[in-house]
Chains A and B, each alone.
Chain A
Amino acid sequence: MIYIVTQKEKKIGMLALTLIAIAILTTTLFSGCTEQKNNGTTATLSLGGSTTVQPIADSCAQAFMAKHTNITVQVYGGGSAVGIKGVAQGTYDIGDASRAAKADDLTGIQGVTLADLVQHKIALDGIAIIVSKEIYNAGVTNISKTQLKGIFNRTITNWKTLGGPDKTIFVVGRDSSSGTYTSINDMLGLNKTTQILDVAKSENAQVKAAVAGQDNSIGYVGLGFVDTNTPALKINGIAPSISTVTDNTYPLSRPLYMYTKGPATGVEQMFIDFVLSSEGQAIVAQEEFVPLP
């Protein structure tokens, strides 16, 4: 009996030792982390603005930092207006925007005019509106931007309104932190409260599967995800394609920009050159946007 008790005590002792060891290990590990961050950095670059551009900026920043270990790139969100204001005020080195800068953006900022901002087009954004095959075959092949807005803010809820079958519209979209979600909001004049989805998916392929799986769905995906199972609607009579996105005739398309205050210099120039390089444009495609022609 006594022997068993001592064994138990031994075990408790071991456990206590382990816990202490773990505590020491954890603290050293984490203090190591912070030290590394503070040392060895020779340059920093900050980007901020459009949340549509953010996935491109984030991934490019990671790839860029992997190549240039002495440069730290920080990417912030906030929206196009924040990006343009930020670069004008010097908060960010590069301002991301999913639209062209306007004079309005600079109200209240002393000594900076629109002419001081230099625009760099970095990618194209084109979104296809896909529907279930049954809907497309029933004759809904074209839709106006206003009707589309009506579907996403739920003023239009039945396919009958659009000349389709008498079925409730099932609306599939993306999670609220996705760039495509934000793009749809911007393009149709919606926001996070007025874009009302039935199902939010985290990937284009899942949106496609959800739309294809039912006979009453509508959804939005990147251009590359259109096929005969999920046909794309024409918007105001124009079918989505690389060429209609590139020449900007397709209504749900737009160029994406990075802005610098004055011509890009030093690290700014290096980063923008990287985004425009074939490697950067491959990241653009990987993030489901359309690379520059």
Chain B
Amino acid sequence: MRMLLSRKLKEAVIKNIFFIAAAFSVFIIFFIFYYLFQQAFPAFQNQGFAIFGTTWNSDTGHYGIGAAIYGSIIVTVGAMIIAIPLGLAGAIFLSELAPPYLRTLLKPIIELLAGIPSIVFGFIGIILLVGYLHLTFDMLSGYSYLAGSLILGVMAIPIIVSMSDDAMKAVPRDLKEASLAVGATQWQTIKKVIIPTSISGISAGVIMGIGRAIGETMAVSLVLGNIMKIPIPPWNIFESKVTTVTSFIVTEMGESSGIQTKALFASAVILFVIVAVMSIVSNILKEHVQKKFKGG
């Protein structure tokens, strides 16, 4: 009896320790949420909708971060143009075409790429890429949306490959074999069976990739001009006078003060909301793919 009680007690203690550990991260996220909003509120109050404007000048009291939001979108779109085709093709190869030995070799290497610290990408970007672009395209400088997109694209590839590969591997064998049995070629099977059934998993991977690209700071801040402007024309990917939200925050935060700091917090809030929404959508899609095959 006593034995049973102590075991029960032990169980309860352990259970609670784990519960506290889990609750801790929830607490942290709520704390960040609260702190960000609390810090940013004065800026929203002070600037109103002008916060989405494109003039940033602390002398005249204008703190519009519109150009940075635009920059984040453009750089991310550029990164996805590079990462989605490469990532998807890579995933198809890994899950469907690669011989097993190659797969066991390649998959960990690609996942290792996802673990490389962003500053390393940024460093390679500033040392090699910027100079290369400057000379190759005869640009005034290599600092540009283009450089940012290239780096972020490479950084997003492993995420897209890894998650899409998992999604394609989760497609039940019988579906695939049925398709091949009725005489479809391998390519037809991939196109008509594998991709459509795993599309929500692939989308989850792509959204995670976008999330990484849009939230990335160090690598982009090193290869952009960090000037709050929308280039002329807006799709001019060679212009250096551009910035993204993350890059602008890290460049200006150091010596900022007063309402300027609050405005930087406000841009962080906007970014936080964007990334949070993406992460939620990605999770919903991932759950969808699991339900579909595991019979709910």
Q: How far is the CA of A18 from the CA of B56 in the complex (A)?
A: 41
Decide if B174 is an interface residue (CB 8 Å cutoff). no
The answer to whether B143 and A198 touch across the interface, beta carbons within 8 angstroms, is: yes
B257 within 8 A of A: yes
Interface string of B1-41 (1 = CB under 8 A from A): 00000000000000000010001001100110010000000
> Complex: how many Å from CA A76 to CA B254?
15
The DSSP consensus for interface residues of chain A is mixed
Q: Which of A178, A198, A217 contacts B254 (CB 8 A)?
A: A178
Q: When A176-B56, A193-B57 are in contact, do A213 and B257 touch as well, CB less than 8 Å?
A: no
Q: Is A31 an interface residue (CB 8 A)?
A: no
Contact B141 A77 (CB under 8 A): no
Q: Which of A189-224 contact B (CB under 8 A)?
A: 191-193, 197-202, 206, 209-210, 213-214, 216-217
Of B126-134, B161-169, B176-184, B194-202, the one touching chain A: B126-134
Q: Of B26, B227, B240, which one neighbours A22 at CB under 8 angstroms?
A: B26
Q: Which of B19, B131, B255 contacts A213 (CB 8 A)?
A: B131
Q: Please report the C-alpha to C-alpha distance between residue A191 and residue B240 in the assembled complex, in whole angstroms.
A: 21
Question: Is B141 touching A198 in the complex (CB atoms < 8 A)?
Answer: yes
Judge whether A250 is part of the interface by a CB distance below 8 angstroms. Answer: no
Please pick, from A76, A197, A213, the residue contacting B126 in the complex, using a CB distance under 8 A: A213
Q: Are A55 and B255 in contact (CB under 8 A)?
A: yes
**B contacts with A, residue count (CB < 8 A):** 38
Cross-chain contact of B140 among A170, A197, A202 (Cβ < 8 A): A170
Given known contacts A191-B59, A214-B134, A177 and B226 CB-to-CB distance under 8 angstroms: no
Known: A170-B141, A213-B131, A214-B134. A202 touches B254 (CB 8 A): yes
**Does A109 lie at the interface of the complex (its beta carbon under 8 Å from any beta carbon of B)?**
no
Q: Say yes or no for B188: interface residue by CB 8 A criterion.
A: no
Considering the chains assembled together, what is the distance between the CA atoms of A170 and B141 in angstroms?
Answer: 7
The answer to whether A54 touches B255, judged by C-beta atoms less than 8 angstroms apart, is yes
Contact A200 B225 (CB under 8 A): yes
Q: Does A105 contact B (CB under 8 A)?
A: no
> How far does the Cβ of B106 sit from chain A's closest Cβ, in whole Å?
34
Indicate if A268 sits at the interface (CB-CB under 8 A). Answer: no
With contacts A193-B57, A214-B134 taken as known, whether A199 is within 8 angstroms of B255 at the C-beta atoms is no
Q: Tell me the complex Cα distance, A6–B134, Å.
A: 64
A210 to B223, CA, bound (A): 10
A54 cross-chain contacts in B, Cβ below 8 A: 255, 257
| A contact residues around B58 at 8 Å (CB) | 176-177, 192
Complex Cα distance, B251 from A21, in Å, reads: 37
Complex-state Cα separation, A213 to B23, whole angstroms: 48
A77 CB contact (under 8 Å) in B34, B131, B258: B258
B241-A26 in contact (CB<8A):
no
Q: Which residues of A contact B27 (CB under 8 A)?
A: 22, 25
Q: Measuring CB to CB, which residues of chain A are less than 8 angstroms from any residue of chain B? A: 14, 18, 21-22, 25-26, 54-55, 58, 75-77, 168, 170, 175-179, 191-193, 197-202, 206, 209-210, 213-214, 216-217
- 24 CB-based A-B contacts, threshold 8 Å: A14-B19, A22-B26, A22-B30, A26-B31, A26-B34, A54-B255, A58-B257, A76-B257, A175-B255, A176-B58, A176-B252, A177-B256, A191-B59, A192-B59, A198-B140, A198-B141, A198-B240, A198-B241, A199-B141, A201-B226, A202-B252, A206-B222, A210-B126, A216-B140
Given A192-B58, A213-B134, 15 extra CB contacts under 8 A: A18-B23, A22-B23, A22-B27, A26-B31, A176-B56, A176-B58, A177-B260, A198-B141, A199-B143, A199-B227, A201-B251, A210-B126, A210-B143, A213-B131, A214-B131
